[in-house]
Every structure is written in structure tokens, then in C-alpha cells.
Structure 1
């Protein structure tokens, strides 16, 4: 990537895992608004249901983590939380149409596999007993490899899991030690073989670049080792340094974070290694094998994304989130549970939802969301198709996103996209700056006071 473009576009912009981003959510959105939003969602697209289960517990805190976590190994605390979570599922189920089916279940955290096997099985039992599923739904868990063994894998498979994401982060033990992350107990190559021996189970390996003691050479060695293991999908997350939100990240400042140029070089090195070894880039940070359903969806321009990551049209659903800090992503609203685990339990046990904040989208914002999602996921936008979806004229659509003559000229001159009155197509070079391109369709940014991480 040319340095002049890096200097020009490496500025703070939203990640656009949602629109508007989560820092626009309001505390005025309450439990009653959430119930109305659930009921309204029954008549919206997508019809399918995506379920997110948040398990906040971690045996230790990784200093880079930006997630909502709760440091504990206390099984009694976990039991109380699980009982509340099961109750919350049934509370939401009451407002959902019975003809809707689950297309996706995703467990995140925290460390979901820190939960005792029997508690995990109980939660999955509630889902299987109370919902219908589409054929071949995606049921996935983000797993800490240090806490994954043969018995836990067997239990996951028995409960219906068909994808496991292993949070490796780095193979370099010095890097892991300095971010307070335990390495895998079983060598990762053996662990992946163990998972695959249980059937047709998809395996993702997740990595982070931009941590102390990482450099281009060491991170390249990590990615080369990952390629030899041959996961179905691989993610290279850019470390988002937000110490004003996550205080533990200040420790990493003391230990020394790579300079921006070094961090970018790590990204470029990983990109080169992965694409030269048959992996196809998906979005900003994901890679998949050529025959993977995500790559096929991208080629067909039917790729979608939610807070849990990329998904196909078949597994796309409105997201209903359970557990402390879980964010539901409905077609017309977002609703986030509060973060305090103890208060979450108290509220659910009393029969009340525990919505801390949320957001109700206007038709205009749904249009902007769609435009940004198409650019971010499929690198392409047809004004005609988008206008038909929302039953407006193309001129009306362009007015909503405040597209004016000359808005896209800079991107085109820099070789980042091609456009004409009918469509926009992001170039291969433009994929690296897709957050910047997406931001050009976001009227909210003109008066935004919120902080965001840099685009690269």
C-alpha cells in the first residue's frame, strides 16, 4: 500500500459492525422499547433468528481484551448466571412468532468454554427444546484453546456445535506472556486434528497483530505456522487500543506497542502469506478457503455481517442476544443488556429485562445501514437494487446518504473504487480502505463527538 494513501486514510472511523455504531446507543431505549422491537421484528426481514449467547467469565484477563469480561472460576456464580440466562431466553421466546427458525447460534465472551460442560449442555438444551432450526444451521463457539480438551470437544459436538473458533492470538510465547494469555494446552495442530476427527466441524483460527513484542518477522512466522495447520477460516484482528474504555490496555503502553508503520507491515505480510497460500480475503480481517461458503457468498455478492462476524444469506438472521452486555441486532432496533453481571441476574430473576441502552432506527438509517453493509461486505453497491429494496427512487436513496457530486472523486482518483451513476465497485486496493469508503456514506460522522480506532 502506497505510504501517501496510508497517511491520508489512516484516520479514526467506525468499524461498522453496526449502523449506527454502538456508541450512538441511548439510555432512553428501555425494556418496554425492547419488547415492542421484538414483536415488530416478527414481520421484518430476515425472518430467521440468530442467537448470541454471552458468557462473560474468564479465568484471567488478557490485557488486550476489549470485551465485557468477569474474572472468576467460581462455579456457583456461573450456575446463578446460567439460570438467569436460560430464563431470559424463555422470556424473549414468548414474544417471537413460532414459525420463525434459528439459522445461527454464536457463543462469545469472555471465555465461553470456561463454562462447565453440563451448564453449556443445559443452555443448548433450552434452545433445542424451544426453537425450530433450519437445516444445517451454523452453531459456533469462540474457544480459548488453553481450556479445550477432548471431553469438552465431544460435549460441544453432541450439543450440535459445528464450528469452533480458536483464539490463538499468536504462537510466540513471549507475546502471549506479555499480554497475560495462556497458550494452548494441546499443540494447536493436534487440537485442530482432534476437532476434525469428530466430524464435519469447521475450524477458525484467530490472531491479533499490533501487540507488544510483535514485529513483521515474528508475526509472519505465526501466520506461516497457521497456514500449515490449514484452518477453514482465519482472522487477523488489528489490535484496537482504546484505554479510555478498557483500563487494562494501559499496561500494554508500558510494555511497548508497535509503531503504526510496523503494525501495517504485519498486516501486509499476513495478507501476502495467506493469499499466496490459497486463502481469499473476506472483508477487512477474515480469510477463507476458496470453497468456503463465505467466499462463495462474496463472489455472489450475498455476504452479510453482524457483531459476531460474517455470515451467508442462508445463516443470516436478526440477532437476539442473551446474557450481560449482549447486543440484539434487530432490523429496526438495537438493544444492549447492561454489563453488571450481578444486576443482570437480579433483574432477570425478577422477570424483567435488563436493557441498558439501545437505538431505534428510522427508515433513513436503515437505508444508510444497507448501503454501508453492502460496501463493507460485498465491495459493491447497485443503486437500483438498493432503491428497489426500500421502495424509493435512486435519487431519494442518494439524498439519504448525502451523496453529492464529487464525494467519491478522491477515492476514484486514488484507485480505490470505480463508480458510475448505476453502481459503485471497490477495487482490490480499495478493500484496505473500505472503512473510509463506507464512512463517506455516513451523515452522522459530520457532527460525531465519539472516539473510534484508526482504520488501519
Structure 2
């Protein structure tokens, strides 16, 4: 992978991550509980499988960098009360869902799902499994925080049927960990990772983060060497987004300790070089996987897809998401739950689905969603085939986008051939920038464009 720091600098601009299109800032509050209930009823006989998501917002300790919808508390009774309400939402949606539909994927995120006690992990899984038809070979995954985690948590997940986990590592440097209030020594990571492998989880992902306080290429290289030696199946390497105007607790980070742009770019380049040299395939969008991983195979076979759960091999699934802030998705609709726990409980107690906002997708949005998805997943797009599928002349319809991509072609990020668009090896780093050329919403007046994180 050959690209310069100058190239990273040029394309380091704000842009969406495209876990949806249109992106979440364009959801609106005129789409609420009644509209989501109507969509649930209308979408049952469309031949689509199901992906389930449950959001557990609680954490033992506040990580200063966190951008998630979470609550740091030592009061476990809050989690017990939350589960009672969560069960009622699950009942409501399950009662409207055809029992003939198959769950191909189940994921728990947060917050920290393993904040729950082992018996409550089992109880939540049983509650879901009793109400939905989970396939024997379903992907069942959970996010883990190694702190406060016990072997009993790992056993509870594995015995319940979980086969995948994502472990929040971030950085192994002691100074960095103290600066972000996430102290988890290397020995702790190794012990937890040992438990996970011992219990036979099929796939293990490590989350890392670039751009944290006191991080330098020298210190992060040591972290990379250590985690590569552990040989997880996947890595997700995120860029820290410092947005204290949105996440007030990020003000606890001393801004002067954050790496400057040139250093962040050096960290990005180092990570790409180290992980690819170690044999991991760079899928794009911060994700790396071993060559025999399903994500790599799906990308090669052009069956990879992207949604709110990131890259996935399950394209034809509706996402039914439970819990505060969770986002559901059908082929025609996005629906996001309220974020505030008191409002979430209030709506559930009123017998309503706890949807705060959403969006019914217009035909034009579907077309552009498809082109963005194909670019970000397949890394190429056959213009004639796409045009035939959507009954358009591709070059005419996307003339403005192709004009934008010409500059990227001169930088070696894409190849614009008469018959197709191809993303180069270097271009995988800049997938968000390439996708942005097809985003109609970014061409609105500047005052209407939401604030996004940097693309690299």
C-alpha cells in the first residue's frame, strides 16, 4: 500500500461513515412510534431475515474519549430496572414479528454489555431466544470491556450461544490509559483473551484507537507489536473524534496532550503498514481481518454489506434493535429509539415503541445508497450493470460525482475506466472520501450540513 502523508493530509476532512444513507443526522422526529409500528407490520412478508441488536448503555467507569450513548454508574439496580423495560420492548416487537422469519445475526453493544452479571447475560439471551427463531449457525456477538470482566462472564456468553466477541483494547500504553481513564494492563488483556480462546469463541476482534492523548508512533508501535502477537481474527482501528461540544465528558481530556494532525497521520500510516505486513487484509473503513475471514471472502465474492453494525455478510436482513438509542432498519425505513433512559421507560410504559426519530427512504436515496454501498464493500462498480439495475445511464446520472472522482484518480485512489470504477489499494484508506462524491446531501448549503468526524 503506497501513499504519502501528504495524501492523508489532503483528504483529511469531515465526512460520514456511511453506516446508513441518508446518514443519521437527516432522520426526523415526524417519524415516530406509530410510523415504526406501521412499517413493522408491512415488512413481515418480504422474505428478509433478521439481525437483532440490543443496547446495554451501562459502564462501571467513564472513559473520557467515549462517543457512545452510555451511563457510567456503580449502581447495578439501574441495569436491573433497564432490563425489565428492555424485555417489554422485545415483547412488543416480537409479538409483531412472524415466527417464520430467521435470525441470522445477534449482537449486543453499549456501553458495556458485560456490565451485566453473568446470570443476567444468560437471562437476556434466553428471553430473546424464546421469542425469535435464531438459526443454529447464527453469528452471535458481544462487545467486552476487559475491566470488571470475569471468567464467569465469558462462560455465560459461550454457554448461551455467543460465538464472537469484540474486546476493547484501545492502547496498551500506561500513560495513554491513565489520560483517558481506562486503565487495563497488558496482563489483564492477555488473561481475558486467554479465557475467550479457551472457551472456543469462533471470532475475536480487537478494538484499537488512534489519536488518544500522549499517543506517538513510537508508543503505538509497541502496542501494535503486542496485539499482533496475540493474533486476533480481526482489528477495528478507529480514529478518536474529539467533539467536546457533543460529548461534555471529553472536556476531561487535556487538548494539549492530543497528537496533532501530522502525528495522527503518521499513526494511521504506521497502523496500515504494520497490520498489512502482519498478513491482515485491509477491508476498508478501519477494519482488518485475516485472509480466511468471512468478511474478506465476502468482499472478494461481492456479497459484503454495510449497515449500523458495520461490515456484515448478511445483506438481506432487517435490523430489529432494542434499547435506548438503538437504530432499527428495514429496506425502506430507519428508526432510532430515544436516548434518554427516563423517556425510553415512559414510552414503553405507555405501550408505545420508543422511537424518537426516523426516516422513510426515497427512491433516489435507495439508488445512491446502493452505489455508496457497492463502492465501500466491493471496492469496484460495474457501471453498465448498475445502470441496468436502476434503469439509468450511469455516466449521465452521476456526471457530477465522476467529475469529483477525476481528481482522486490523479492521486491514485480510483481508476475510472469506461466500464467501471475501481478503488485502488491506496484508495481503501479514503473510502469515505470516495463515497462522498455520490452523497447528494453534502451538496446542500453549508449551514445545513451536520458536523462529522474526519475521514482519516
TM-score by length of 1: 0.94
Partner of 1:50: 51
Partner of 1:10: 12
- Summarize the alignment of residues 224-303 of structure 1 with structure 2, pairs less than 5 Å apart: 224-303=225-304
Q: Distance in 2 between matches of 1:349 and 1:182?
A: 38
Shift of 1:44: 4.2
Partner of 1:84: 85
Q: Distance in 1 between matches of 2:266 and 2:294?
A: 29
8 Å CA contact 1:301–1:380 kept in 2: the answer is no
Shift of 1:13: 1.1
Q: Distance in 2 between matches of 1:21 and 1:299?
A: 26
Q: Per the alignment, in what secondary structure is the counterpart of residue 187 of structure 1? A: helix
- Summarize the alignment of residues 16-165 of structure 1 with structure 2, pairs less than 5 Å apart: 16-44=18-46, 47-165=48-166
Q: Distance in 2 between matches of 1:255 and 1:172?
A: 18
Q: Distance in 2 between matches of 1:405 and 1:365?
A: 18
1:437 matched to 2:438? The reply is no
1:312 matched to 2:313? The reply is yes
TM-score by length of 2: 0.94
Q: Distance in 1 between matches of 2:15 and 2:402?
A: 22
1:368 matched to 2:368? The reply is yes
Q: Per the alignment, in what secondary structure is the counterpart of residue 130 of structure 1? A: coil
Partner of 1:214: 215
Q: Distance in 1 between matches of 2:351 and 2:295?
A: 39
Q: Per the alignment, in what secondary structure is the counterpart of residue 394 of structure 1? A: coil
Shift of 1:93: 1.5
The alpha-carbon distance between structure 1 residues 382 and 325, as it changes in their structure 2 partners (threshold 3 A), is: same
Consecutive unaligned residues in structure 2, runs of 5 or more: none
Partner of 2:392: 394
- Post-superposition Cα deviations, 1:129-169, rounded to whole Å, max 9, x if no partner, equal 11112341111111001122211111000111101111011
1:416 matched to 2:413? The reply is yes
Q: Distance in 1 between matches of 2:43 and 2:433?
A: 31
- Greater alpha carbon shift after TM alignment, 111-120 vs 166-175: 111-120
- Post-superposition Cα deviations, 1:417-436, rounded to whole Å, max 9, x if no partner, equal 11234321100111111111
Partner of 2:346: 346
- Greater alpha carbon shift after TM alignment, 237-246 vs 404-413: 404-413
8 Å CA contact 1:62–1:180 kept in 2: the answer is yes
Partner of 2:336: 336
Q: Distance in 2 between matches of 1:371 and 1:158?
A: 40
Partner of 1:168: 169
- Count of equivalent residues: 451
Partner of 1:451: 451
Q: Per the alignment, in what secondary structure is the counterpart of residue 130 of structure 2? A: helix
Partner of 1:428: 425
Shift of 1:248: 1.4
The alpha-carbon distance between structure 1 residues 20 and 183, as it changes in their structure 2 partners (threshold 3 A), is: same
CA RMSD of aligned residues (A): 1.9
Shift of 1:199: 2.0
- Post-superposition Cα deviations, 1:225-249, rounded to whole Å, max 9, x if no partner, equal 0011010111111111222211111
Q: Distance in 2 between matches of 1:394 and 1:135?
A: 41
Shift of 1:190: 2.8
Q: Distance in 2 between matches of 1:152 and 1:196?
A: 14
Q: Distance in 2 between matches of 1:369 and 1:386?
A: 12
8 Å CA contact 1:55–1:112 kept in 2: the answer is yes
Shift of 1:359: 1.1
Consecutive unaligned residues in structure 1, runs of 5 or more: none
